Amino acid sequence: MVSVKTAAAAKSAEIPNAAEALAVLAYDDMRKVDALILERLDSHVELIPELARYLIEAGGKRVRPMITVAAANMLGYSDIAPLKLAAAVEFIHTATLLHDDVVDESGMRRGKVAANLVWGNASSVLVGDFLFARSFSLMVEAGSMKALGVLSDAASTIAEGEVRQLSAVKDVGVSVDTYMQIIDAKTAALFAAAAQVSGIVAGRDAREEAALETYGRELGLAFQLVDDALDYDGASTKLGKSTGDDFREGKVTLPVALAISAASASEAEYWDRVIARGEQAEGDFDTAIRLIKSHGALEATVNQARAHARRAREALAIFPANKWRVALEDLADFVVERAY
């Protein structure tokens, strides 16, 4: 059987890096968004901009704010409001990363040492709170109560998803449905809101607004499922984080949930030991990879991601074809194939 990584590598030869292509297309608007971000990071408390810039300037493809900018351009809407909302989206995302790294005790973020390991947990949490506050200021300035409602709801949904995931750590009984609900909340909600708010400020009708929300949500689900797969099949240099983090933290992501559901009695005992009891020894991660692959769980995870990416593309079909729509459609393909 052809490995997921080999198949994806072949596919990636056919698909250009759509994130980079979108970044080029959105360059002028994203420079304005970056200027807003740097302006709103200003504080007389030196640690705040220092720590926040450490993470923000580490890179990342800024996919979420680019979706906001691209959706507005696809709709032919040019105004400061989408730029402020895009900056707000990036602040929400960055704040959640800071908080997540404290909770997960992560060692790397975007290819750099996690901020909490440099400045400590307390500083990371408090700077994350500062970024949340700045995001709400930007939402208010955008001048749309509905957009404010959508993004604020997304922020609370993300927190709920993270708490639910924390509660599910080391629980080998987590079902596929439960895990999909978790990632819908902790990841897809912000993608959905990032796309939807552009339709709101552009004054589009409910049908188009819903299509944008669907695009973002399906894209976010695909994005997270690929992350799940990459933790067992990716290279840390491409991911910007360590592989095996989910395994070591006892998280039952989709590849593990599928492998557990198909496990023999001896395999079930293995999963109970390494996940539920957290008794991990050298070689256990390699065993996890072997079991996941032997049951086709990795391939099934990526295939499910592709199905969500396809639905994201289909959601944009109601909009007139233009270069921005094409870029957003291509982004859905890239999200799945991005790091193999």
DSSP class per residue in 311-340:
HHHHHGGGSPP-HHHHHHHHHHHHHHHTT-
Beta bridge partners of 109: 112
Instruction: Indicate the helix (H) or strand (E) that contains 113.
Output: strand 112-113
Q: How confident is the model at residue 5 (pLDDT cuts 50, 70, 90)?
A: very low
At position 235, the amino acid (one-letter code) is A
Q: Return the closest-CA partner of residue 5 out of 218, 203, 289.
A: 289
Average pLDDT in the 252-270 region?
A: 97
Q: Return the closest-CA partner of residue 194 out of 165, 158, 166.
A: 158
Looking at per-residue pLDDT, the higher value among 45 and 329 belongs to: 329
% of the chain beyond a pLDDT of 90:
71
pLDDT in tens, 174-206: 999 999 999 999 999 999 999 999 999 999 999
Q: Are 159 and 127 in contact (CB under 8 A)?
A: no
Residue 8 has pLDDT above 80, yes or no: no
Q: How confident is the model at residue 7 (pLDDT cuts 50, 70, 90)?
A: very low
% of the chain beyond a pLDDT of 70:
85
Residue 64 has pLDDT above 90, yes or no: yes
What is the pTM for the complete model shown? 0.89
Q: How confident is the model at residue 6 (pLDDT cuts 50, 70, 90)?
A: very low
Environment class of residue 44 by beta-carbon count within 10 Å: exposed (0-12), middle (13-18) or buried (19+)? exposed
| The token pair that represents 112 in the structure block | 């750099």
Q: How confident is the model at residue 11 (pLDDT cuts 50, 70, 90)?
A: very low
Q: Are 223 and 335 in contact (CB under 8 A)?
A: yes
Classified as helix, coil or strand, 124 is helix
Least confident range from 91-105, 171-185, 268-282: namely 91-105
How much is the pLDDT for 125?
A: 83
Residue 240 has pLDDT above 60, yes or no: no
Q: Return the closest-CA partner of residue 236 out of 88, 55, 106.
A: 106
Looking at per-residue pLDDT, the higher value among 25 and 47 belongs to: 25
Least confident range from 65-74, 109-118, 155-164, 310-319: namely 109-118
Q: Can you say how many angstroms the Cα of residue 209 is from the centroid of all Cα atoms in its chain? A: 21
Rounded to the nearest 5 degrees, what angle is found at the Cα of 17, between the Cα atoms of 16 and 19?
Answer: 140
**How far, in Å, CA of 243 to CA of 234, rounded?**
7
How much is the pLDDT for 236?
A: 45
pLDDT in tens, 221-233: 999 999 999 999 8
Average pLDDT in the 321-328 region?
A: 97
Average pLDDT in the 257-271 region?
A: 97
CB atoms near residue 122 (< 10 Å): 10
Q: How confident is the model at residue 120 (pLDDT cuts 50, 70, 90)?
A: low
Residue 242 has pLDDT above 90, yes or no: no
Q: How confident is the model at residue 339 (pLDDT cuts 50, 70, 90)?
A: low
How much is the pLDDT for 70?
A: 98
As a whole number of Å, the CA-based R_g of the chain is 20
Q: Are 154 and 193 in contact (CB under 8 A)?
A: yes
Residue 316 has pLDDT above 70, yes or no: yes
- Give the chain's mean pLDDT: 88
* DSSP code of residue 196: H
Helical H segments across 105-120, by residue range = 115-119
